[in-house]
Amino acid sequence: MTTLAVAGGRVLRPDHAVVEADVLVDREAGTILEVGPDLAGDVDATLDATGGLVIPGLVNAHGHAAMTLLRGFADDLPLDRWLREAVWPVEAELEPADVRAGTDLAIAELIRSGTTAFADMYFHVGAVVDAVAEAGCRATVGHGVITVGKDDEAAAADLEAGIAVAREYDRAADGRVRTALMPHSLTTVSEDVLRDAVAAAREAGVPVHYHANETRDEVDPIVAERGCRPLEYARDCGLATADDFLAHGVHLDDVEVDLLAEAGTGVVHCPASNMKLASGAAPVQALLDAGVPVALGTDGAASNNDLDLLGEARDAAMVGKLSTGDASAVDADAVVRMATAGGADVLGLDAGRLEAGRAADLAVVDLDAPHLAPPHDLVSHLAYAASGSDVRHTVCDGRVLMRDREILTMDVGAVQRRATERARALVERAETG
């Protein structure tokens, strides 16, 4: 066993108390051995956390990493037009090398902002897995299955691709990659394929992840056609279990909130994307009050437009208050929990809490900055005042991925250049194609 001590700083405990302590890590096992005072004595390596706060690695539980290629490409459009006129025509031209370049760019941004695990629904998933394997982070990946606009044969082939990905890549990259069946949404996948996807997921022993109740335009047709709420339809398709997790849940009624609580299905709240696409405000405090597991996600960079989960936590708190008219709603403690333990729970990771036996996924936030003084309440600072650029070190699975803001596992300059080149060529193909 070789050990790493993250030493000299303060530590955010699972109960959100902040204590002066070190974190001792087993680098081979990738787990935390101990959290306590003076653990840096006889260790193989140390990471200096002096003046910093050690927090669990952040978990970005919903997104489309390679959409970094479309950052700033088409803004200020409603969801339906944004997808049909801007996003889908470009995505039709995607090649594996594009997905690799965009995912590398996303991972660089994630590591630089303290995120150690993310969920990714996209295409050419092998390229995503390669990126995760090399960068050293964790991901739950899946092929986004869409049947709208496809004939039966093409729809079946898309589902087969989703199943193949879920089976082939689960536990890849030394176990850091997990998979899910990812039917895109309740309205973009036919009922037959949705039911088949659920059956395939149960057989493969992986969760199902999907978009649900993001806009009113997604809810109304299901209510009109089926005479029930979208999540009642989802439950009828076998989609409401404690392993499954959905993105958005903006337009939920009380019946659906209770249904989620009863099933233990996780909801990934994506406040920035919901605000930018004017989709609405998810009833997050109601979900929390009902006991629904809630995580945070940035969604794709094209609808955010960054992947900074601390920024997302701030957005979650702000919109949670604004939408309810209650300043005590979705408080600092809640959003920090969503960004850490909440996300880990929803993705089924034994992470998100700095305690012995958990995955050694952590970040060190530099507190020595004007906007983080005075230190009245460091959970408040994480929620309201800190941003990803305050992260000094990032560790995943016991390995240092970023030290003093330098990513050790990637050449960030080359990643930015490659992504820029691929994005330019991609948009050109879409516009001439």
Under the rule (CB under 5 A), what is the footprint of Zn ion? 299
Minimum gap (Å) between residue 102 Cβ and Zn ion: 15
Minimum gap (Å) between residue 275 Cβ and Zn ion: 14
Strand partners, 247: 211, 268
Minimum gap (Å) between residue 162 Cβ and Zn ion: 16
Minimum gap (Å) between residue 271 Cβ and Zn ion: 13
Minimum gap (Å) between residue 300 Cβ and Zn ion: 6
Distance of alpha carbon 254 from alpha carbon 275, whole angstroms: 22
Distance of alpha carbon 117 from alpha carbon 428, whole angstroms: 32
Minimum gap (Å) between residue 62 Cβ and Zn ion: 6
Minimum gap (Å) between residue 65 Cβ and Zn ion: 11
Nearer to Zn ion, 94 or 386 (CB): 94
Nearer to Zn ion, 11 or 270 (CB): 270
Nearer to Zn ion, 274 or 394 (CB): 274
Question: Hey, what are 237's tokens?
Answer: 């398709």
Distance of alpha carbon 361 from alpha carbon 300, whole angstroms: 23
Q: What is the sign, positive or negative, of the torsion defined by CA atoms of 43, 44, 50, 52?
A: negative
Other Cβ atoms closer than 10 A to 253: 16
Nearer to Zn ion, 184 or 393 (CB): 184
Question: Hey, what are 313's tokens?
Answer: 């936590």
Q: Which residue is nearest to Zn ion (CB)?
A: 299
Nearer to Zn ion, 109 or 299 (CB): 299
Sheet architecture: strand order including 31-36: 31-36, 22-26, 3-7, 45-48
Nearer to Zn ion, 299 or 397 (CB): 299
Minimum gap (Å) between residue 230 Cβ and Zn ion: 16
Nearer to Zn ion, 3 or 179 (CB): 179
Phi-psi region of 205 (alpha: psi -120 to 50; beta: other; left: phi over 0): left
Distance of alpha carbon 238 from alpha carbon 230, whole angstroms: 13
Q: Using alpha carbons, select from 101, 99, 106 the residue that is nearest to residue 122.
A: 99
Minimum gap (Å) between residue 250 Cβ and Zn ion: 12
Nearer to Zn ion, 35 or 295 (CB): 295
Question: Hey, what are 137's tokens?
Answer: 């982070």
Residue 266 φ then ψ, to 5°: -80, 145
Distance of alpha carbon 250 from alpha carbon 390, whole angstroms: 30
Nearer to Zn ion, 299 or 345 (CB): 299
